[in-house]
Structure 1
Amino acid sequence: MTAPDRRRRMSTITDVAREAGVSVATVSRALRGLDRVSPRTRERVFKVATELDYVASPTATSLASGRTQVVGVVAPFLTRWFFATLVSSIEKTLRQHGHHVLLFDLEDDTYDQRLPLSQNMLWKRVDGVITLNLPLTVQELELVDRLGLPLVAIGTPVADRPNVRIDEDLAMRTATEHLVSLGHERIAYIGTVPSNAAHIQTPQARLDAFRDVMRAHGLQEHPDWILESDWTADSAASDTRTLLASADRPTALAAASDEMAMGAMAAARAEGLRVPEDLSVIGVDDHVLSNVLGLTTVRQDVAAQGREAAEILLRALGVDTPGGSTSAVVVPTELIVRASTAPPPPST
């Protein structure tokens, strides 16, 4: 049978084995990258498989290996830039090694609640799990352990599991210290959340760091200037309007995220305030729009965090990837000074 004739029908693994002169089991091991196949044989199998346009059945491969080559990515929200950027980076990294993402969005109808992670989501569907800034309950962690799934956490740590994160304390300290270095003493903060919020750890760490810097410099913390928000630009714009409309207002505002900083900037404009002449604003993240809007921020490399977490998980699954860390990675942050911060007005 000639090559054109063979291509008129879908090639099977038996066809590849016959043409390569090896067993079906050897073809399966070679195409799955397993040991006990010589480099020369592996090369011949790949060459024949390419010539025959053979594509392995994912279902058959899964049944044979017990692996799905799918990683579950669990997020509290997917509509936010931070989580979307992480998912994109994770998917691209996994794809390079023949794995893919199964996405679990646990967002509920309210900001301070989320859906639980269940056995039906994970069992026989994924080889491992990556959590995105999400604390797991005892029951959820027991489920992951019972299913024997390796887990890597981005952001909020999960007990005794590899973790990829930034130094949240340092990021917010850097942002607040920047405002203080410009001469600001009347500084507000936006980004507190209810104590039962789905991702409480990051907001709390950033608030604590802000307060530590204020105390270290002997600056007064105004309780009414510590604002709660759901970490969206729309909410922050609404949450800051009353404060910015007041005669007794701050000269600077530190936002726990760039999206909230953007909302505060919009509220300032709506109140006739100039940024930074009347109000300096700084955020944390370096959102994709921050450069366009001239927002001063503390940059975190979100894509790098997704990439590191995916590589750690792949190594746990026996895939050879660059790097060597299997436990903890702290991705550095950097102050990016743009047009939204300046010294306070002379009259203050």
Structure 2
Amino acid sequence: MQPDDKHRRATIHDVARAAGVSAATVSKVLRGVKTVRAENAERVHKAVSELDYRMDPVASGLRGEQRRIIGAVVPDLESPFFGKLVTELESLAEAAGYHMIVASSRENEAREADLAARMNDWRVAGCILVPVRSERGPGAEKLLDFGMTAVLVDRVSADERFDTVSADNHEASASVADLLIGQQGHKHILLHGATRISKAIRNRLAGFGERARTLDPGVVIDELLSDEQLETQRAAIRSYFDGQVDGHRPTAIFSLSQHSTLLVLSEIRRMGLKIPEDVALVGFDDADWMQTTWPSITAVAQPVSAIAERALAALLARVEGEHTGFPVQYLEPCTLLVRQSAGQTETERPRRSGRSG
């Protein structure tokens, strides 16, 4: 490469010239083909190192070779859940010989659709989409329009067009009802959600409500759901409690996301209520801070690693032609981690609250 070209990205032809072989031979070596003579392969690897050559995955895909890029679109990269999901997906993809392009829809459905279109422009081999709303959102529709191979994750139910992977939100929330109503005997419970549009949130509401009314048809369940800004949601929680007549406040709260748990916890403390003496608290989606705060927070732990493994395996099975059948819904089981905020220590068996009625 000439000195004045030192900032130009090396091409496969530069590597071929430096190694004294054909570009086709360089391609074979980089793809791991074992029929290349050992001395030629050694010269290619040396030239690759000296020229700092990196294969252009888009160009190789356009030449008709198998594309080794996977796209991932998630609602929020700052979320601990989605951050861990992306990290797991990226590691698994790289172990399988793929690279991953990651983008955030920022909880905006129009941007979600635009990102799906961009993934098509990149000619990705497949895409993993966590929709803003559900499997019927614009992102999924755009993937379908382009005929892209995709798996939908988290905020989804069964779909006849794409494989779907999510935590078993319905059953996990039913287990919270088993704890708060079936075992502890709470009669008045608040369900709090920091969003009302997510399919996952709706599944959690349904799972808890159906089990709760089976356990106790007379249980009072209030719902406080909002997509408003932080301060508006804080005010709504305070207003809700101010409107409850003494003796008729909820004795337990089930917060339907990690963000919701933070909001509820901060407002409970701001109002001077004690956990669990005045109100028990259970959150959906565990986090490190829930284990270290006092009292520690009872939470549903989502199987993030299992979701990532299942999603990538399902996608690659489609991409590589190993699975061509009907779309499959995969539900990964969650774990309810009982801690101090539910009115018992982690080592105690769930017991009746004594605050029921």
Q: Which category of TM-score, normalised to the shorter sequence, fits these structures?
A: 0.7 to 0.9
> Matched residues in 2 for 1:45 and 1:327: separation?
47
Residue by residue over 1:195-223, the C-alpha shift from the partner in whole angstroms, topping out at 9 and shown as x without a partner, is: xx2x2x21221111111122112243436
Distance 1:292 1:66 in 2: 50
Per mean C-alpha deviation after superposition, the further-off stretch among 14-23 and 176-185 is 14-23
Could you list the per-position Cα deviations for residues 254-275 of structure 1 after superposition, in whole angstroms to 9, with x for gaps in the alignment?
Answer: 1112321232122111121110
Residue of structure 2 in register with 1:178 after alignment = 179
For the pair 1:125 / 2:122, whether they are aligned, the reply is yes
2:236 maps to 1:239? yes
- Conservation of the 8 A alpha-carbon contact between 1:69 and 1:99: yes
Is 1:344 paired with 2:344? no
1:92–1:232 Cα change, 3 Å: farther
Partner in structure 2 of residue 261 of structure 1: 261
**Gapped regions of structure 1 (runs ≥ 5):** 1-6, 321-325
Name the TM-score, length of structure 1 as normaliser.
0.77
Q: CA deviation at 1:20?
A: 6.3
Distance between the aligned counterparts of 1:231 and 1:308, measured in 2?
A: 33
Distance 1:121 1:255, change over 3 A: same
Alignment of 1:1-348 (within 5 A): 13-14=12-13, 16-17=15-16, 23-33=22-32, 37-38=34-35, 44=42, 47-49=45-47, 51-58=49-56, 60-65=59-64, 69-96=68-95, 97-105=97-105, 107-108=107-108, 114-115=110-111, 117-118=113-114, 120-127=117-124, 128-134=126-132, 135-137=134-136, 141=140, 143-155=142-154, 156-157=156-157, 158-180=159-181, 181-191=183-193, 194=196, 197=197, 199=198, 201-222=199-220, 225-230=222-227, 237-245=234-242, 246=244, 247=246, 248-293=248-293, 294-318=296-320, 327-342=328-343, 344=353
Instruction: Provide the secondary structure at the position in 2 that maps to 1:265.
Output: helix
CA contact (8 A) 2:16 2:44 kept: no
Distance 1:186 1:145 in 2: 44
Q: Which runs of 5+ in 2 are unaligned?
A: 1-5, 344-351
Q: Shift of residue 336 of structure 1?
A: 0.6
Q: Deviations over 1:94-129 (max 9, x none)?
A: 344340213141534xxxx65451474233314121
Q: State the alpha-carbon separation in 1 of the partners of residues 217 and 303 from structure 2.
A: 31
Report the AA paired with residue 191 of structure 1.
G
**Partner SS for 2:254:** strand
The share of aligned pairs that are identical, in percent, is: 25
Letter aligned with residue 258 of structure 1: Q
